[in-house]
Each structure stands twice: as C-alpha cells, then as structure tokens.
Amino acid sequence: MDNNSLKNASLFDNDPVLYAAWLYYQDGLSQSEVANIMGVSRVTVVKYLHLAREKGFVNINLDSSVFSTIDYAIRIKAKFDLNNVLILPDEEKNKSQHTLNMNRERLAKAGAMYLSQIINDDDILGVAWGRTIYKLGNYLSPKSLKNITVLQMIGAVAPQPDFKTTEAAALIANKLSGCSINLHVPAVVSSARLAMELQAEPIIRRSFSALNQCNKALFVVGNTFDDNPLVTTGVLTSSEMAQYRDLGAVGVICGRFYDAQGNPLVSDIDLRIMGISLAQLRQITQRLFIAGGVENIQATIGAIKGGYATDIVIDEVTALALLELDN
C-alpha cells in the first residue's frame, strides 16, 4: 500500500477485511479497484469480502417492495405449471387501484414488451381483438423478423372509438415485418346455418384452417358483465350475456365462454360464433394471456384453471388473488 492507503487502512485497525468491505460496499468501488488500492490480488479481495459477510460485518438485505413481484411470479409459475409469469408491480400501493384505462395502458405496454421477447422467425401468431390488444399493437416496437404470419382468431365487429378489430392483426404484423390474415366475417352471425355456409366458402375455410397452424396466441381476459365489448359492440345482447351467466360463465376468450373451473360452456350462440374454439386454442403451443383488474379476477382464474394460458402478463392485484387461491 502507498502511504495514503496505509493511513486510511489504519482507520479500520489495519484489518484488511473491514477495509475491503468499506471500499467495496460503502464507496462502491469494483473488486479490481479495491485490489489496486490495497495492493493485493483480486482473488484476495474476494476472500476478504466473503469473510466480511461470514463475520457479520456486512448484512445484505433485499428490498421486499422491489422483489415481491418476482417472488409472486416464481410461486404462481410453479403453482399453476405455467411457462412464464410477468407481474406489473402496483406503483401506488398506498392509493386506490389504478383506473381501468390506466391499468389497460400498463398491461398493453408490458404485453408488447413480452411479445417482442418471445416472437421468432417463422412464427404463426393468432391474435384476439379488443382495446388492450389494439393498444399493444401500437406500443409494440418494430422488429425485423422473417416469415411471420399474424391471424385474427375471431371475426370482426363494427369499428369502435378506441379499437378496430380489422386493424389489430395488421398492426401487429406490420410491427413484426410479417403479413396478416383477417377473418372477413362478423364475430357472430344470425344463424347456425349461415355460420356453416360461410365457413364452407373456400377463402373463409382457408382462414379457419390456418388457425390450426398457429404456434403462438395472444389474447386478453374477458368477464361476463354487460360492459364486456361483446355486449357494447353489439355482438351479444345483454340477455344473451345473462344466459351465459346463468350457465355459470365467469369469463370469455374469443367469444367462447367458460366456467370457474375453465370448462367450456356451450349454448346455441356458440354455433353462430365465427372464431377459434377453446379446444383449438389449447392446442397452440405458446399462449400469452393478458389480464388485470379486480373485475377480471374470476375470469382470469377460470382461464388458468382451464389450461388456456401458458404465459401470463398480470397486475399485482391479480397475482395476489392467484396466490391466495386454494389448490
């Protein structure tokens, strides 16, 4: 050590372990910088730091508020046998829950980030429609991929002020340098016979057949309240939604309803729906599900129990509900 280093070391009773710990943990120096100051090797510094922790000179504590969602994600992933779980931390723990619109924005941004991470060359991605999916498409960063196809998984509804069903797939495909295939049919038609006739049309039949080729899917939670987009867009009437609630429905994915255990619920309306079935959805290898909000907790639980998701993006209130759920 030089004279200045020796002088500083004397402040620590010439104990190299204390001195190394101070330089590294308090002054924020690298192990190499500590080694240069003390005139020892980097390996020796590593040994000093290890001894400092062993002797209790240094205690490292993790901030539970920062790492709690990571812990939640690990536990939820194991509990429900999921591939991956991304949880949005509650940014205002001491305030009321985010408004629905704010939460949707945050979920859309997180979903866009996660989709960008998992999408690869040659993927065939099936997408649902809705406000969150449409926002996700806008937030998705451009990515140069090869041979990407994005398929619309349920027919269209009339353009809404905050989303357009016919544009969602095209928007996502454009961001991923791919092509899109739309289902050029209404989400629900007037009769089962018409649904069968439309699906027999060659161009529509090819689109429906393509859904069986999807290896990834992107969809959002849907509850069974009357403010569900299926009702507000006129796809279903309030009485038809009530009919599903009477059957025990808690959630809906691509126009297909399921109960609290995730079991599909079939009524005469299903014969008129122009979209992917829940059985088809479950055959897709990787299924990204985005959910959030107290009002959607039961729908989220049912979707996960039904095995419709392999990867989930959720908020913290949903994560806590999943953890509290009895097996």
The answer to whether 309 and 287 are in contact (CB under 8 A) is yes
State yes or no: pLDDT of 247 exceeds 90.
Answer: yes
pLDDT at 79: 95
Residue 229, number of CB atoms within 10 A of its CB: 21
pTM: predicted TM-score of the whole model, two decimal places: 0.77
Contact yes or no for 187/155 (Cβ under 8 A): yes
164: CB partners within 8 A, 6+ apart:
134
Buried b (16+ CB within 10 A) or exposed e, 290-313: bbbbeebbbbbbbbbbbebbbbbb
* pLDDT tens by residue, 234-246: 888 899 999 999 9
How does pLDDT run across 78-136, given as a tens digit for each residue?
A: 999 999 999 988 765 434 445 666 788 899 999 999 999 999 999 999 999 888 999 99
Give residues with Cβ within 8 angstroms of 53, minimum separation 6.
Answer: 60
Contacts of 7 (CB under 8 A, 6+ apart): none
pLDDT at residue number 27: 85
What percentage of residues in the chain have a pLDDT greater than 90?
Answer: 61
> Contact, 187 vs 179, CB < 8 A?
no
Sheet holding 84-88, edge to edge: 84-88, 311-315, 286-291, 216-220, 124-127, 149-152, 179-181
Which candidate, 266, 260, 264, places its Cα nearest to that of 302?
260
73's enclosing H/E stretch is: helix 64-79
CA atoms within 13 Å, Cβ hemisphere of 80: 30
Q: What is the mean pLDDT of residues 207-233?
A: 90
Q: Are 141 and 110 in contact (CB under 8 A)?
A: no
Strands 251-253 and 256-258: antiparallel
